[in-house]
Amino acid sequence: GENVEQHPSTLSVQEGDSAVIKCTYSDSASNYFPWYKQELGKRPQLIIDIRSNVGEKKDQRIAVTLNKTAKHFSLHITETQPEDSAVYFCAAPPDFGNEKLTFGTGTRLTIIP
Amino acid sequence: EAGVTQFPSHSVIEKGQTVTLRCDPISGHDNLYWYRRVMGKEIKFLLHFVKESKQDESGMPNNRFLAERTGGTYSTLKVQPAELEDSGVYFCASSRDGGDEQFFGPGTRLTVL
């Protein structure tokens, strides 16, 4: 089955600096890679996703990069703000057409004002 | 549109008791998923419904867990009898037919004493 590893488990950055979270996956057939943000006491919410036919996708201060050869993808947050503090999860489906998600262990991001 | 809702938000029961969790997906979403996060670890897949049919139940831990989705609308997840290791946050998610994004509910925090 799919195995997703996520690093780091915790990350503290100064407000205004950038944050990078990395994930690796095992199943080369995976083709969809979402990132979820879970604020304290709230539900996980999709913040950005990428399909395997592109290498990078950007949405304002958030970007995701994908390296299919190396089987890893990363979340980049620039100009971090206090509201970016949350737990971030990467995920991948095991193979094409299989919709269940395998999640990474999560990264607790803290933005220091 | 109304989001995914779950009931109850919290449940505290004693070992050996029965608990039933409910999930109401977004109206019109054929896909319904159950996930669980135990003790701050990764969010783990339990099962996937397409309408009223179980598409994939490979993540169900054992036969103490029973999920139903009669009529293809809301779903229930029953744990009987509950054990200490069942404690965690149970998330429900739904998605459209052919859609990628899974919309998560707020979760039910289950504590088994």
H-type alpha helices, B1-113: none
Which of A29, A47, A30 has the alpha carbon at shortest distance from A38?
A47
**Which residue matches tokens 């993808």?**
A73
- Residues of chain B contacting A46 with CB distance shorter than 8 Å: 101-103
Q: Among all residues of chain A, which has the CA nearest to that of B6?
A: A43
Share of chain A above pLDDT 90, in %: 75
pLDDT of residue A98: 63
- Residues of chain B contacting A36 with CB distance shorter than 8 Å: 104
pLDDT of residue A1: 72
Report yes or no: B11 at the A interface, CB cutoff 8 Å.
Answer: no
CA dist A28 and A47 (Å) reads: 23
* Residue contact B105–A98, C-beta within 8 A: no
pLDDT digits (tens, 9 = 90+) for A42-71: 999 999 999 888 789 999 999 999 998 999
Averaged pLDDT for residues B21-39: 95
pLDDT digits (tens, 9 = 90+) for B91-112: 999 998 877 789 999 999 999 9
Among the partner-chain residues A49, A103, A105, the one whose CB lies closest to the CB of B100 is A49
pLDDT of residue B9: 96
pLDDT interval class at B40 (50, 70, 90): confident
